[in-house]
Amino acid sequence: DQLQSLRVSYTSTAYTFATDTFSGSTGANSIQTFFPASIGEQWSWVSSGLTLSAGVGVHAKAILRSVAFVLPPGTQITISTGAGGTGSYFLNSLEKHGAIVEYAGNVDNRGFLGIAINDVSTNQYLISKRRSAASTAAEDVIFTTSDLALLAHRKVTVDIVDAYTGAVGYLSVSSLNIAVACLKIPTTDSCQYDTVPCDLVMPGTACLVYCQGPYTGTASAGSCPAANVDATTPLTFAGLPSCILPCPNPNPIPLGYSGTTGGTPIACDTVGGYVGTAAKTCTMDSATCTTQAHLSGCTLPNMAHVSGDPITYYGTKRSEFKVPVGGQLSTLLEVPDMRVMATAVRGHSDKEQWLDRIVVMTPQGQEVVSVSIKNDLFDFNRSLAPFNAFETMNVKMDWWFSKPLTIMPPPNEYYIHWHGLRIAFGRARGALTDAPRREMVLVVSQFANVYIASSSANEYYEQPFLAYKYAHLDLIVGDMRNRSSFSGLLPELWGFVPLAATGQREGAGIGALYQ
């Protein structure tokens, strides 16, 4: 039957706890200060607890109601009963949850005897419990943090309910303890730290924060002060652990780097022509908590050159090579829109040779520019030459002019071959001396820029006559694009493409003879 309900009036502000335990019959923190309201039959202190003087006899239903308070998150409420019964065996609890608080009428043998949490705003019971056994022995009735988790932030009262008469039809309450967990550890890095063990630390207990795998490190301890009743109290905590993120090598190893997926040191793939200092960094993907390894520092050089008796340099690679002497053109480099060929002359011995002529052609074999080194530079006399004449190079562009160019074109001018190649000229700057100046021809294609430069033989810098006698052409290749399309002797030596079947390596792969 639907019975009347009664609301007990309190001040508008909720009760603020100054202690965690209420016990005894007198004093500032006596149990009676926490339970100020008796509804129906009156409760009083008898012997060692609050109870009804009627005992097991017939009496009016009785509710002993606590002060109203806002239930903090992470709260556990423990009510110590000195003696008492369990109420009717027909009832497991005061549930149904949401039942209206009943106080009218007398007790009967089907009534509830126990403790309930009441919602002040609705005057309805939210959860209830009772002793597990009817006896004169003491027993704690506990509302755990799990029991009360969904009730956090509600304004509630603790009600001691006696609506039962029968064997051991009474209940004695000696003390009540409110234990409130300390504040969670604030962290936004759930990938690095496992703070779950410290999410609900009760007063007087401790916890450990661990490094979350794959991080490694020593756990840090935290504790909640004893007798805590404030949900905003932070844990007594030395700080989060120092966690180290292992940094395994990526799998697969990206192009340009050498190493294994097992974690061996990463280096630049020098065999593949990459240069630089390899660096590895690891980051954590916060969405998936997975480690991402990133490699950097290794790049393909964008420039290579050929100089001296001829040696080509590409990054850290140094390769000596030879080409046939006697005027036979050999392909040094071929890209989709240009072919670079060269001839060599014998040097001071059979083992020495110098590039004396470089020719740039279209892929179809049409000559675009032919550059050769001038002879007899040791006897150079600028006063006998026309103004601004080529001093160290012979240059031919038959498609532009039928005769060799004798005058150096202005440096701000360039020529465009109908195949798309662009040609420009320049010479070394500096104080003018009696010596002939270094000169350069630049050919620009879509795949690389080729610089052809005149040079004395530095190997004979202490013998000026031989240095001029073996003056030669150096070659610089820069701004290389789409290296996989390159072919010829130089790309083979640079490692862009496998060495051709006609090429022979000499001595540990440092030298190459191209036949």
In a domain, 66, yes or no: yes
How far is Cα 82 from Cα 79, in angstroms, rounded to an integer?
A: 10
Same domain, 417 and 486: yes
What integer pLDDT is reported at residue 101 of this predicted model?
A: 57
Same domain, 50 and 114: yes
How far is Cα 338 from Cα 445, in angstroms, rounded to an integer?
A: 7
Confidence of residue 90 (pLDDT cuts 50, 70, 90): low
Same domain, 41 and 173: yes
- Rounded to the nearest angstrom, the gap between the alpha carbon of residue 389 and the centroid of all alpha carbons in its chain is 61
What integer pLDDT is reported at residue 263 of this predicted model?
A: 67
In a domain, 129, yes or no: yes
What integer pLDDT is reported at residue 1 of this predicted model?
A: 25
In a domain, 418, yes or no: yes
DSSP state of 183: B
Final residue before a domain boundary, out of 129, 149, 180: 180
pLDDT at 3 over 50: no
Comparing 444 with 271, which gets the higher pLDDT? 444
Task: Please report, as a single letter, which amino acid is at residue 376.
Answer: D
What integer pLDDT is reported at residue 395 of this predicted model?
A: 98
Contacts of 333 (CB under 8 A, 6+ apart): 339, 340, 448, 450, 477, 486, 487, 488, 489, 490, 491
| Domain assignment of residue 457, given as a range | 304-494
In a domain, 502, yes or no: no
pLDDT at 143 over 50: yes
User: In the chain, how many domains are there?
Assistant: 4
What percentage of the chain has pLDDT greater than the value 70?
Answer: 91
How far is Cα 137 from Cα 168, in angstroms, rounded to an integer?
A: 12
Confidence of residue 91 (pLDDT cuts 50, 70, 90): low
In a domain, 13, yes or no: no
Phi then psi for residue 228, to 5 deg, are -75, 135
Q: Would you state the structure tokens that stand for residue 363, as one six-digit string?
A: 């892929």
DSSP sequence for 364-406? TS-EEEEEEEPS-GGG--GGGS-TTB-SSEEEE-TTT-SS-B-
3-state secondary structure of 32: helix
Same domain, 440 and 407: yes
What integer pLDDT is reported at residue 512 of this predicted model?
A: 43
Which residues are bridge partners to 392 per DSSP? none
Same domain, 91 and 157: yes
In a domain, 8, yes or no: no
Average pLDDT over residues 25-40: 88
- Rounded to the nearest angstrom, the gap between the alpha carbon of residue 1 and the centroid of all alpha carbons in its chain is 64
Same domain, 42 and 107: yes
489-502: pLDDT as tens digits: 999 998 888 876 54
**Beta-strand relationship, 69-70 and 338-346:** unpaired
Q: Which of 112, 17, 26 is nearest to 67 (CA)?
A: 17
Comparing 102 with 202, which gets the higher pLDDT? 202
Compute and round to an integer the Cα radius of gyration of the chain. Answer: 48
Mean of per-residue pLDDT scores for the chain: 87
What integer pLDDT is reported at residue 65 of this predicted model?
A: 92
pLDDT at 170 over 80: yes
In a domain, 12, yes or no: no
Task: Please report, as a single letter, which amino acid is at residue 489.
Answer: L
Peptide bond into 214 cis (omega under 30): yes
258-315: pLDDT as tens digits: 888 766 789 988 777 788 899 999 999 988 999 989 999 998 888 999 998 899 998 8
Same domain, 236 and 332: no
Same domain, 326 and 467: yes
Final residue before a domain boundary, out of 180, 203, 221: 180
Question: CA–CA distance from 369 to each of 227, 364, 382, 417, 448 (Å)?
Answer: 94, 14, 25, 10, 16
Same domain, 334 and 210: no
368-411: pLDDT as tens digits: 999 999 999 999 999 999 999 999 999 999 999 999 999 999 98
In a domain, 426, yes or no: yes
Q: Do 427 and 408 contact (CB within 8 A), yes or no?
A: yes
- Rounded to the nearest angstrom, the gap between the alpha carbon of residue 405 and the centroid of all alpha carbons in its chain is 61
Average pLDDT over residues 347-376: 94
3-state secondary structure of 151: helix
H and E: helices and strands count for the chain:
4, 35
Q: Which of 124, 129, 132 is nearest to 157 (CA)?
A: 124
461-485: pLDDT as tens digits: 889 999 999 999 999 999 998 888 9
Cβ burial 197-209 (10 Å sphere, 16+ → b, else e):
ebebbbbeeebeb
Same domain, 191 and 176: no
How far is Cα 370 from Cα 342, in angstroms, rounded to an integer?
A: 10
Same domain, 149 and 176: yes
What integer pLDDT is reported at residue 513 of this predicted model?
A: 44
Q: Do 288 and 281 contact (CB within 8 A), yes or no?
A: no
How far is Cα 85 from Cα 102, in angstroms, rounded to an integer?
A: 20
Confidence of residue 416 (pLDDT cuts 50, 70, 90): very high
Same domain, 368 and 481: yes
